[in-house]
C-alpha cells in the first residue's frame, strides 16, 4: 500500500495505482479531468494531457519534486508522494491551455451536436477553459464517414483521444482493424475502422467517444439528450450482459447505451443487438431510473427520481411491472 497526499488530503491506495485513480478514491471536484484515459481500455491515457498534475514530492524515499508536470492517469503513485492539482496555479493554467488546444479544431457546434449535454470536452471547457480563443487560422474539416449503417464518424469533432482505437483493438474480435493515419494535426482516425461493422461489439466505440465524433445513427438528431429519460433495464442476452440504459422520450426508446459510472466509463460492454435492435420497451425488463449526477445538464428535467409515464408502464411486460411494484424509488406519473 502507498500513502499519498493529494491536494492536502491523505489517501492510501494499493501499489501500482495511478495518481488519477488515487484521486478518484477521494472523489469530488478535485479529481483531475480525463479526456483520453478510460479504465476498461488497456494502454489508454497520457495523450490529452488534461489530467496533468504537479508532483511536489516524488516519494518518502526521494522527496524531490518531479521536474515537469506529469499525466496523473499513467503515473503510478509512490509511498509518500505529494500531488498538487487544484491547489497548484501552474496546473490550472496549463489546463486552460489544453482546453484552448483541444478547441482549435473542434467546432463549437454544440447546438447541433448529438453529444451536447454529455460531452466530456464541453464539461472540461466549462470548468477549465476561457470564453475566447486566440486562434485565427483556418480550421480543418472532414467529410462524414459512415461506418456501416449504424455508426457515423465525423472527424471534424475528433480530438484524437485514441479511445475508439483501443476499443476496436481490444474488444472487437478479429485482426487489428482500426488506427490512426497521418501525423501531427493532420492525423485522423483511419477509415479502415469500417472493418469493424460486422462485429457484435462495434457500437461500443460510440460510448467511449468523449466528444461527438462517433455517433449512433439510430439516434442522431432525434432529440437533445436532456429531453430524454434514462432508465436502467436488462434482458437475457446470449452475447453480452444485457444491462443497459434506455433513453426514453415519451413512450419511445430513442437510444440504448451501456451503463456508465460517475466518470463516464462503461461498466460492461454491450452488443449491437441490444444497442441498435431492441428499441421496444417490451424487449426489456425495466429496473428503474438511471442515476444522473445532479450537476449534469441531463438532470435538468428529471432529478433524482424521474417520473416514468404511466402509459409506458402499461405497455411493459407483466414481469417488469411486477419488478416495478417491488421498486418503490420509481415514481409513476400520468
Q: What is the 3-state secondary structure (H, E, C) of 79-144?
A: CCCEEECCCCHHHHHHHHHHHHHHCCCCCCCCCCCCCCCCCHHHHHHHHHCCCCCCCCCCCCCCCC
CA 102 to centroid of chain Cα atoms: 16
- Cβ 144 to another protein shortest distance, Å: 21
8 A C-beta contact, residue 11 and residue 19: no
- Cβ 75 to another protein shortest distance, Å: 7
User: Under the criterion CB under 8 A, does residue 179 sit at the interface with another protein?
Assistant: yes
Q: Which stretch binds another protein (CB under 8 A): 67-75, 226-234, 245-253, 323-331?
A: 67-75
d(CA 258, CA 161): 20
User: Under the criterion CB under 8 A, does residue 182 sit at the interface with another protein?
Assistant: yes
- Cβ 269 to another protein shortest distance, Å: 24
User: Under the criterion CB under 8 A, does residue 155 sit at the interface with another protein?
Assistant: no
- Cβ 137 to another protein shortest distance, Å: 5
Cα distances (Å, whole numbers) of residue 104 to 84, 143, 189, 282 = 27, 18, 17, 45
Compare residues 111 and 184 and give the one whose CB is closer to another protein: 184
Compare residues 159 and 164 and give the one whose CB is closer to another protein: 159
8 A C-beta contact, residue 99 and residue 125: yes
Residue 22, all three cell numbers: 488515487
Per-residue string for binding with another protein, 35-54, x by CB under 8 A? ----------xxxxxx-x--
Residue 24, all three cell numbers: 478518484
Q: Out of 97, 148, 264, 317, which residue is the one contacting another protein (CB under 8 A)?
A: 97
Q: State the residues that interact with another protein by CB under 8 A.
A: 45-50, 52, 68-69, 71, 74-76, 94, 97-98, 100-102, 104-105, 134-135, 137, 159-160, 162, 179-180, 182-187
Amino acid at each position: 500500500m502507498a500513502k499519498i497526499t493529494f491536494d492536502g488530503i491523505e489517501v492510501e491506495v494499493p501499489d501500482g495505482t495511478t495518481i488519477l485513480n488515487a484521486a478518484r478514491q477521494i472523489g469530488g471536484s478535485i479529481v483531475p479531468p480525463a479526456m483520453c484515459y478510460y479504465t476498461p481500455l488497456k494502454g489508454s491515457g497520457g495523450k490529452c494531457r488534461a489530467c496533468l498534475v504537479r508532483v511536489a514530492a516524488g516519494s518518502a524515499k526521494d522527496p524531490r519534486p518531479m521536474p515537469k508536470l506529469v499525466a496523473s492517469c499513467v503515473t503510478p503513485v509512490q509511498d509518500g508522494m505529494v500531488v498538487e492539482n487544484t491547489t497548484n496555479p501552474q496546473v490550472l493554467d496549463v489546463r486552460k491551455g489544453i482546453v484552448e488546444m483541444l478547441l482549435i479544431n473542434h467546432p463549437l457546434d454544440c447546438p447541433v451536436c448529438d453529444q451536447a449535454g454529455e460531452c466530456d470536452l464541453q464539461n472540461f471547457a466549462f470548468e477549465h477553459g476561457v470564453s475566447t480563443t486566440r486562434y485565427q487560422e483556418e480550421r480543418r474539416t472532414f467529410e462524414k464517414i459512415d461506418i456501416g449503417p449504424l455508426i457515423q464518424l465525423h472527424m471534424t469533432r475528433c480530438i484524437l483521444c485514441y479511445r475508439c482505437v483501443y476499443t476496436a483493438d481490444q474488444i472487437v474480435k478479429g485482426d487489428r482493424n482500426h488506427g490512426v493515419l497521418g501525423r501531427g494535426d493532420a492525423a485522423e482516425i483511419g477509415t479502415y475502422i469500417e472493418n469493424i461493422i460486422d462485429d457484435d461489439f462495434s457500437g461500443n466505440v460510440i460510448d467511449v467517444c468523449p466528444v461527438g465524433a462517433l455517433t449512433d445513427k439510430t439516434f442522431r438528431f432525434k432529440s437533445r439528450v436532456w429531453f430524454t429519460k434514462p432508465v436502467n433495464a436488462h434482458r437475457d442476452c446470449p452475447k453480452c450482459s444485457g444491462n443497459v440504459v434506455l433513453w426514453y422520450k415519451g413512450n419511445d426508446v430513442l437510444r440504448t447505451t451501456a451503463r456508465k459510472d460517475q466518470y463516464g466509463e462503461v461498466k460492461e460492454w454491450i452488443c449491437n443487438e441490444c444497442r441498435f435492435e431492441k428499441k421496444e420497451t417490451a424487449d426489456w425488463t425495466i429496473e428503474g431510473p438511471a442515476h444522473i449526477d445532479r450537476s449534469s445538464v441531463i438532470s435538468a428535467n428529471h432529478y433524482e427520481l424521474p417520473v416514468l409515464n404511466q402509459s409506458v408502464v402499461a405497455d411493459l411486460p407483466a414481469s417488469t411491472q411486477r419488478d416495478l411494484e417491488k421498486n418503490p424509488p420509481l415514481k409513476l406519473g400520468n
